[in-house]
A = this chain, B = another copy of it.
Amino acid sequence: MGDYPVRLTTKGRYAVTAMLDLAFHSQIKPVTLTDIAARQTISLSYLEQLFARLRRANMVKGTRGPGGGYMLANAAGDINIADIIAAVDEPLDATKCGGEANCQNEKACLTHDLWMGLSDQIRDYLKGITLGQLLEKHRVQEIAKRQDHDAHQVVELHRHSELVSSFNDLL
């Protein structure tokens, strides 16, 4: 599937966090990066860097002028986590053996293939999680919390059995 392994870094976390903030607040009108920066304590200029990539990846739309700001390019339910992370992360192949048949060392490529397979698993998993799902789950959780103050309900998007089964189908 993917040519390069998935990376889960603070950069991706910033991007997902910002996109979540955007999904949450841009329901009615565009949200400025200044607002997101203030809410999420991320520097404005760093956000600008991230959103430049997100815009180029067609994940957000910016409108200029007073009353402007950013909105999601698609419905929150159509934006998945894997795409957000891919948008802000450099490809950075890290194949080492070129990925071609030029790799003579079978053993070396063995673990490489295993890791790439695992990486694809994680990517598929993240592709199955959307901003909409996260918000919806949180909304449900909030309602539950309001109804039962002490009930600490764990957010569970996918069932674990689903993950394992999808894992078993691959490789």
Contact = CB atoms under 8 A, between A and B. Distances in A.
Contacts of A115: 13, 16-17, 20
Number of copies: 2
A101 to B, nearest CB: 14
Chain A interface size, as a band, is: 35 or more
Contact of A125 (B125, B135, B137): B125
Contact of A122 (B8, B9, B25): B8
B20 A114 contact: yes
A125 B122 contact: yes
B94 A167 contact: no
A122 B121 contact: no
A158 B108 CA distance: 19
Contact of A10 (B94, B135, B137, B156): B94
Interface of A: 5-10, 13, 16-17, 20-21, 24-25, 39-41, 81, 94, 96, 105-108, 110-115, 117-118, 121-122, 124-126, 128-129, 133-135, 137-138, 141, 154-158, 160-161, 163-164, 167-168, 171
27 contacts: A5-B8, A7-B8, A7-B9, A8-B8, A8-B9, A9-B9, A13-B94, A17-B111, A20-B110, A20-B115, A21-B107, A24-B111, A40-B111, A41-B108, A106-B164, A107-B163, A107-B167, A113-B138, A114-B155, A117-B134, A118-B129, A118-B134, A121-B156, A124-B163, A125-B125, A133-B167, A137-B168
